[in-house]
Amino acid sequence: MRVVTEKPLTLFLNSQEIVTIMTIGDYPEYLAVGYLINQNMLQDATDITSIDYDDDLDVIVIRTEIETNFEEKMKKKVRTSGCAQGTVFGDVIDAFDDIKLNSNATLLTSWLYTLTKKINTIPSLYLGVGAIHGSVLCSKDEPLAYFEDVGRHNAVDKVAGWMAMNDISADDKIFYTTGRLTSEMVIKTVMMGIPILISRSGFTAWGVELAQKSGLTLIGRARGKRFVALSGIDRITFDADKKTVEHKKKSTAPKAAIVELEGNDEWFQDAGRYRGVIPAIVLAGGLSRRMGGIDKSLIELGNKPMIAHAVTCLEKQAGPLMINANGDTGRFDALNLPVENDVISGHAGPLAGVLTAMRWAQQNAREAKWVVTVAADTPFLPDDLVVRLMQAAGHNFTTIALACSGERIHPVVGMWPIGIADDLETWLNTEENRKVLAFVENYTLAKVQFSGKHIDDIEIDPFFNINTPEDLEVAKAVLAEIEN
């Protein structure tokens, strides 16, 4: 039975001992140079005057023309989540914040699918032995360099060293790793200047947060033709996905399991944390047929228009706010909010309002990644609606979070990633595509369970909506009880 063997490699930079690395022992020069570059101790290979490796002593010495002393820098360490107890030194995080990745780099899904197949069939230690990680530098759909090691960060450093010693440009490359997308993986990829990082494995919250902060395109769980795009979605072109190219009904997003989430008071200490960060839209574009065709959103409820209850609740939790309504927008002037008609004509249903919300946010809240939608006829919305939806979405750009109460999903009360706007518009271009949940099925759905308010031992559904005159009378009675 073959077993991976690891051994120590002690790295010196000039006369200073830097670190001892546990490694499988191949490509020590690439590993050492890449490590120093990724720790911001070396700018590039042109600074190097010599590399001396002693196989018997397991020591490698990198010498430079410039005198170096990193004693102070090495006192400041950040323990990362990398295997083998990864560490980054000194000012790496500071340098990370200053790096600008190539915004014009592109990832075609045809490249992604081809790379996944090619990399998984490359002869490797992993296929022969297991217990090892691989890192691959790619150009379009071709692997350029494949390195392995017991620690994924070692494999990354070998790629960085290979690039530096062979003067390989990073700004149009794709980086693939077999390991988890941790903070350290993201930091090292950005330090190398590579704009796209892909893994067949999962990801951590800090890894995703750093990727979003740096503008890195981050893709996890890439297997076959399924993947999860976590950040930098603008670089992805769905050229190989017939569902997009042929404008079929289904979305091109990776379909994933439903996530069910119930309340946890620890999440909601600051229910207003997303004010000014996440746009919120009140949907009032329906025809109100069961109310006789009148504009029910303006019917008086508790001495103010029905829609004003939803607005009052949302303005404490999110913003900027907008109203989606068809017809004369002037009828909402008293609310002092922007009003937008559906961007899809013909009363295409609530999904048209969701698309309108996304398009409005793209123009008026350009830094926003999500929009929240609620219905104008839901006067008893929860005070922690937005923060709980965001927690459920998990900052994942392919997850839609919808509110639930009892056994029912409320399709128009939710958090929507703005990056799926084009996909939604394509979907709505087919007239039979009007049902919200049919569209949502193509994405990861986070169902967020909410409980209602209790009045005299009766639970009031927080998403009670007013569709009929009878519902209006119930709402008036409930509101009177709440105010008393």
**DSSP one-letter string for 276-332:** TTS-EEEE--S--GGGTTS-GGGSBSSSSBHHHHHHHHHHTT--SEEEE--S-GGGG
Question: What does the CA dihedral 393, 395, 398, 400 come to, rounded to 10 degrees?
Answer: 20
Q: Are 436 and 350 in contact (CB under 8 A)?
A: yes
- Distance from C-alpha of 173 to C-alpha of 115, rounded to nearest angstrom: 13
Q: E strands of 80-132, at which residues?
A: 87-89, 107-108
pLDDT at 281: 95
- Distance from C-alpha of 142 to C-alpha of 111, rounded to nearest angstrom: 8
pLDDT at position 81 over 90 = no
* 3-class state of residue 384 by DSSP: coil
Q: What's the predicted TM-score (pTM) here?
A: 0.52
pLDDT at position 247 over 70 = no
pLDDT at position 469 over 90 = no
Instruction: Please work out, in degrees rounded to the nearest 5, the angle formed at the alpha carbon of residue 172 by the alpha carbons of 170 and 176.
Output: 75
At residue 152 the predicted structure's pLDDT band, cuts being 50, 70 and 90, is confident
CA atoms within 13 A on the CB side of 216: 32
**Location of structure tokens 């008893």:** 380
Q: Are 258 and 447 in contact (CB under 8 A)?
A: yes
For a pLDDT cut of 70, what percent of the chain falls above it? 81
Per-residue pLDDT tens digits for 424-457: 999 888 877 788 988 888 888 888 888 876 665 5
Q: What is the DSSP letter of 254?
A: P
CA atoms within 13 A on the CB side of 102: 17
pLDDT at position 126 over 90 = no
Q: Which amino acid is at 378?
A: T
Domains of the chain: 7-91 (3.10.20.10), 107-245 (3.40.140.10), 259-483 (3.90.550.10)
Q: From residue 336, give the alpha-carbon distance in Å to each of 198, 323, 328, 331.
A: 45, 10, 15, 11
pLDDT at 34: 92
pLDDT at 4: 62
Q: Lowest mean pLDDT of 65-79, 270-284, 433-447, name the range.
A: 65-79
Residue 372 main-chain phi, psi, to 5 deg: -105, 140
pLDDT at position 89 over 50 = no
Of 322 and 38, more confident: 322
For a pLDDT cut of 90, what percent of the chain falls above it? 34
Average per-residue pLDDT for the chain: 81
